[in-house]
């Protein structure tokens, strides 16, 4: 399996060489974006990866001084990224056509076999210059690629992508399954009846964020003061994002310490944002699902999803009767068929569990109170 180790590079004068390499990669990107668009205007088709690669070789031979400032494999990686972007554009309707990028918005370049060397400890050589990075943990596995990234705060990061054996799961096997219902009042309601509240780091820091935005808007465009104000705002957003991720990772591990299978609904986050705006982004539902899947893969557990169109809140978890007139304001409702009184979110979580386990393997069972729902079905 592949794993990425990310470390921050110490700030030093030599970092300017890495920034120059990133900006040179942006020049290459923009050149080939223009080339592909011109080719399409003339021939009506995309030239393809290998044709772009051949053209890159010709450019290097013609202008050795400029193109040889960046490692040859890093140049080829820019072509690979552009080709992948075009493949997404061809295959996914919602994907946009690859466009031009400003130098300051192009963020990274990648090296493979050459152009880098670990010197021991926390020292690394990148394109004839030595650097130090904050080695917070050891690198385990065979290094396949090395990527230098620049973030909005102005920091440089080094990312080692390694190939390693699948990790040994740390969390115990329980044989239990649980259904989850996402919400705004309660971040999660489980089919066992637990209600989990989530922090809202953006809401807690909203006044400070708004003040930083105002200060940024007052600075003259292109000035050093504006760049510094922009970095301060980026650092605040990064702090907020780290707080949210910390909660998501801890919650995911807590869930998988109790359950082997976590059942959820596919979320239409875009529609939720239209209804409830900033709060949805602050809770980070989509980010949590990705983290949940990541932890599940690492620990040998499973995340099962059900169709977003399944009426989990409207369906009685006892008799399967559907209450189609259920409104968003109704937090509890009584089933007309069997007379059961339901909490809206708890009922939805139990329905998510029941539907996801309809094709469950033997040995995976609902846990706690949710077991009654599966047995009654």
Q: What is the pLDDT of residue 359?
A: 58
**Alpha-carbon span 117 to 124, nearest angstrom:** 6
Mean pLDDT of 72-87: 93
- Residue 364 clears pLDDT 80, i.e. is over it: no
| Per-residue CA distances from 328 to 25, 179, 190, 313, 333 (Å) | 50, 20, 19, 10, 11
Q: Tell me the pTM.
A: 0.82
Closest CA to 328 of 196, 185, 189, 224: 185
**Over the stretch 259-314, which tens digit does the pLDDT of each residue have?**
999 999 888 877 787 778 888 889 999 999 999 999 998 898 999 998 888 888 88
**Over the stretch 334-352, which tens digit does the pLDDT of each residue have?**
888 788 788 888 888 888 9
**Alpha-carbon span 174 to 368, nearest angstrom:** 12
Q: What is the pLDDT of residue 132?
A: 95
**Alpha-carbon span 230 to 212, nearest angstrom:** 8
% of residues, the chain, pLDDT over 90: 55
Q: With cut-offs at 50, 70 and 90, classify the pLDDT of residue 368.
A: very low
- Beta-bridge partner residues of 161: 4, 145
| 167: Cβ contacts below 8 Å, ≥ 6 apart | 298
Q: What is the pLDDT of residue 309?
A: 84
Q: What is the pLDDT of residue 32?
A: 94
Domain map of the chain by residue range?
2-163, 176-199+241-376
**Over the stretch 17-45, which tens digit does the pLDDT of each residue have?**
999 999 999 999 999 999 999 999 999 99
**Over the stretch 121-141, which tens digit does the pLDDT of each residue have?**
899 999 889 999 999 999 988
| 77: Cβ contacts below 8 Å, ≥ 6 apart | 109, 110, 111, 112
Q: What is the pLDDT of residue 66?
A: 67
Of the chain, the end-to-end C-alpha distance in Å amounts to: 39
**Over the stretch 175-208, which tens digit does the pLDDT of each residue have?**
899 999 998 888 999 988 899 999 999 999 999 9
Segments in 71-110 forming alpha helices (H)? 72-91
**Over the stretch 155-182, which tens digit does the pLDDT of each residue have?**
999 999 999 887 788 888 988 999 999 9
**Alpha-carbon span 19 to 28, nearest angstrom:** 14
> What's the maximum distance between 2 C-alpha atoms anywhere in the chain?
81
Q: Is 286 helix (H, G, I), strand (E, B) or coil?
A: helix
Q: How far is CA 133 from the centre of its chain?
A: 24
What length is written for the chain?
377
- Residue 356 clears pLDDT 50, i.e. is over it: yes
% of residues, the chain, pLDDT over 70: 93
**Alpha-carbon span 371 to 353, nearest angstrom:** 10
- Rg of the Cα atoms in the chain: 26
**Alpha-carbon span 135 to 87, nearest angstrom:** 36
Mean pLDDT score across all residues of the chain: 87
**Alpha-carbon span 317 to 186, nearest angstrom:** 20
- Residue 361 clears pLDDT 60, i.e. is over it: no
Q: Are 175 and 365 in contact (CB under 8 A)?
A: yes
CATH of 176-199+241-376, one of 3.30.70, 3.30.420, 3.40.1350, 1.10.3470: 3.30.420
**E strands, the chain, in order:** 2-8, 108-111, 116-120, 123-126, 129-132, 142-150, 156-163, 176-182, 188-190, 195-196, 261-265, 302-306, 332-334, 341-343, 365-366
Q: What is the pLDDT of residue 367?
A: 53
Q: What is the pLDDT of residue 260?
A: 92
């Amino acid at each position: 399996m592949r794993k990425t180790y990310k470390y921050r590079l110490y700030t030093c004068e030599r970092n300017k060489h890495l920034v120059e390499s990133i900006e040179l990669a942006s020049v290459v990107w923009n050149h080939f974006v223009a080339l592909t668009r011109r080719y399409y205007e003339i021939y009506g088709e995309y030239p393809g990866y290998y044709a772009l690669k051949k053209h890159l070789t010709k450019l290097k031979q013609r202008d050795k001084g400029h193109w040889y400032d960046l490692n040859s494999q890093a140049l080829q990686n820019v072509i690979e990224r552009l080709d992948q972007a075009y493949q997404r554009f061809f295959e996914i309707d919602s994907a946009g056509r690859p466009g031009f990028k400003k130098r300051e918005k192009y963020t990274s370049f990648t090296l493979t076999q050459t152009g880098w060397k670990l010197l021991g400890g926390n020292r690394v050589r990148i394109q004839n210059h030595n650097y130090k990075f904050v080695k917070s943990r050891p690198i385990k596995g065979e290094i396949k690629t090395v990527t230098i990234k620049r973030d909005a705060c102005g920091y440089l990061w080094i990312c080692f992508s390694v190939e390693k054996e699948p990790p040994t799961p740390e969390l115990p096997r329980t044989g239990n399954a649980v259904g989850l219902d996402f919400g705004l009042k309660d971040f999660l309601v489980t089919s066992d009846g637990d209600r989990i509240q989530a922090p809202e780091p953006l809401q807690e820091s909203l006044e400070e964020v708004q003040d930083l935005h105002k200060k940024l808007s007052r600075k003259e465009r292109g000035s050093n003061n504006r760049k510094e104000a922009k970095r301060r705002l980026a650092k605040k957003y990064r702090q907020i994002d780290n707080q949210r991720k910390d909660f998501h990772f801890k919650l995911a591990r807590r869930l998988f310490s109790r359950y082997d299978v976590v059942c959820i609904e596919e979320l239409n986050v875009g529609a939720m944002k239209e209804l409830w705006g900033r709060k949805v982004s602050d809770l980070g539902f989509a980010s949590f699902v990705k983290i949940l899947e990541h932890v599940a893969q690492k620990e040998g557990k499973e995340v099962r999803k059900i169709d977003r169109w399944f009426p989990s809140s409207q369906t009685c978890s006892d008799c399967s009767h559907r209450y189609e007139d259920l409104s968003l304001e109704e937090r509890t409702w009584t089933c007309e068929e069997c007379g059961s009184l339901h909490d809206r979110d708890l009922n939805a979580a139990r329905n998510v569990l029941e539907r996801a386990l309809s094709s469950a393997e033997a040995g995976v069972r609902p846990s706690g109170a949710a077991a009654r729902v599966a047995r009654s079905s």
